[in-house]
Amino acid sequence: MSLVSRFRVEILLFLLLLACYAYFPPRWADWNQNSRLNLTLAIVDDGSFQIDRFVANTGDYAKYNGHYYSDKAPGTSFLAVPVYAAVRPLLQTAPVQRMIERVGSSAAFGETLRPDGSGLAMEKVYFALVLMIVSFVTVAVPSALLGVLLYRFLELFDLGASWRVALALIYGLATPAFPYSNAFVGHQQVAAMLFVSFWMAFLIGQRRLAPHWSLLIGVLLGWTLITEYPAALIVAGVGLYLLVVLPDRRWIVGAALAGVPPLALMMAYNDAIFGTVMPVGYKYSELWQAEHQSGFMSLAGPNREALWGITFGVHRGLFLLAPVLLIGLVGFVAWWRSGTHRRELAVCVWAVVSFLLFNGSSVMWSGGFGVGPRYLVPMLPFLAFGIGAFVATWGAQWRVRAVLGVTGVWSFLNVWAQTIGGQSFPQYQPNPLLDYSLPELVAGNVARNLGMALDLGGWASLLPLALVVLPGLVMLFRSVEEKRSLQVEGRWIENRELRTENRELRTENRELRTEN
């Protein structure tokens, strides 16, 4: 069997998720993303950390000693530096410049602009193209791989391939993971690095991966820390888990040391700008002083309004946006009662609880422009893992399948409506779905997408994606069925061979008794 045939399900799942993610480029005029890309451009184009040249496109900046800098954790920007440096010469060529001019004059793209805006200037299209490329490589690809990893890791519950594919698709396309899987922010990068580290630690504990792979875990966890500071909570959980499961605990020292270079890079960056190794960018965030000075760096302790808001609130409630994730909480209970893999359960529960408490402690819990509570995105694969435990316990019951189907479809429709309705993510509307996303979709204001490069506007721009995704789904589940059939056939052949061996042994025994 060829490598492609062996991993056909994984390849199709990856390509399907990647197509959905890449079809919708990162939002233009997004302060959060622009701040991070400004740093990448400054490093490559100017050899500097100062974003003075670009600061007009963002309000997320730090001002220090008369110069402007990104106020974000630098991990996402650093990760994009080699990508942009590699493609920059190509972007300067005449064919690409002509393509940028064509996009700038595209009627389909022009319809998505504000009437009072400044239009599609060449420099804006160039910036958007760079944003699209670096986001694709550093966010969309890892996010699609994360879906494949979830599919593989769900083998922990002895689920069939059909269930595992379905749950991977639910996580990747019907939760807030979807809108951030091609956004140049750290949420999905962190989710991928954390879950990969967790999976590798599990394999090491099962003796299916050599202990020296813990060094890579250390690098990933270290880079996670410089990408989103709150991720330290889950990093601590995964690190402790690695310590517990390592066959030779001396490797934990190596893993810790492997995490030092990313931290040293961040310290050098902060020292070069602010004269301290501490991450103090938010301290100098000029437009958000009141928020960042509330409590400890905007953390004021858990409060009921925030906790309700990020869970069941209409504005940003995770379980109202994607109710299928509630099943993950029930799954945790079923997982505990099963008495199996409780160390892994502890990591998942810790990831969910710690991030809920963190986000519920922030005065900025709503996250500004966004789909759902975006600060919770790094915990979502751990919560989705709980759905696997739920299915493993009750998935054979038709009522349970119906509940999973209904909540999954509602989650998908809600997440996609809020993601592609309008040219920006929902803002501060009390009810984002009814007050913003649905009216935008009814008006035909669909988020910018690759279909518009074919001069397809509004709803028609989604046709190319449908023509790729629908046959892709058929191929994916057909491959799953073929894989299941091969496994059944393999077991039947194996059983037939065992029966043959048993008959031969009985024949030999009869012959021996006859001779005796």
> Could you report the per-residue pLDDT of 297-314, keeping only the tens digit for each?
667 678 899 999 999 999
Share of the chain above pLDDT 70, in %: 87
Domain presence at residue 496: no
Kindly tell me if the per-residue pLDDT of 144 is higher than 60. Answer: yes
Domain presence at residue 494: no
Domain presence at residue 299: yes
Domain presence at residue 481: no
Kindly tell me if the per-residue pLDDT of 195 is higher than 90. Answer: yes
Kindly tell me if the per-residue pLDDT of 244 is higher than 60. Answer: yes
Instruction: Specify the pTM.
Output: 0.91
> Could you report the per-residue pLDDT of 320-354, keeping only the tens digit for each?
999 999 999 999 999 999 999 999 999 999 999 99
Q: How many angstroms separate the CA atoms of 454 and 109, rounded?
A: 10
Kindly tell me if the per-residue pLDDT of 503 is higher than 90. Answer: no
List C-alpha distances in Å: 278 to 83, 226, 265, 271. 27, 11, 12, 8
Rounded mean pLDDT of 137-153?
Answer: 98
Type of residue numbered 211: P
Domain presence at residue 482: no
pLDDT of residue 489: 47
Q: Which of 96, 71, 100, 83 lies closest to 40, judged by CA?
A: 83
Kindly tell me if the per-residue pLDDT of 121 is higher than 90. Answer: no
Domain presence at residue 384: yes
Considering just the CA atoms, what is the radius of gyration of the chain in Å? Answer: 25
Type of residue numbered 339: G
16 is in which domain, residue-wise? 3-474
> Could you report the per-residue pLDDT of 40-72, keeping only the tens digit for each?
999 999 999 999 999 999 999 999 999 999 999
Domain presence at residue 94: yes
Task: Name the average pLDDT for the chain.
Answer: 90
Number of independent structural domains in the chain? 1
List C-alpha distances in Å: 254 to 215, 241, 248, 260, 376. 6, 15, 11, 10, 30
Share of the chain above pLDDT 90, in %: 74
CB-based burial, 23-52: b 16+ in 10 Å, e otherwise:
bbbbbbebebbbbbbbbbbbbbeeeebbbe
Kindly tell me if the per-residue pLDDT of 117 is higher than 60. Answer: no
Residue corresponding to tokens 């103090």: 280
Rounded mean pLDDT of 17-31?
Answer: 94
CA 121, distance to chain mean position in Å, is 31
Domain presence at residue 491: no
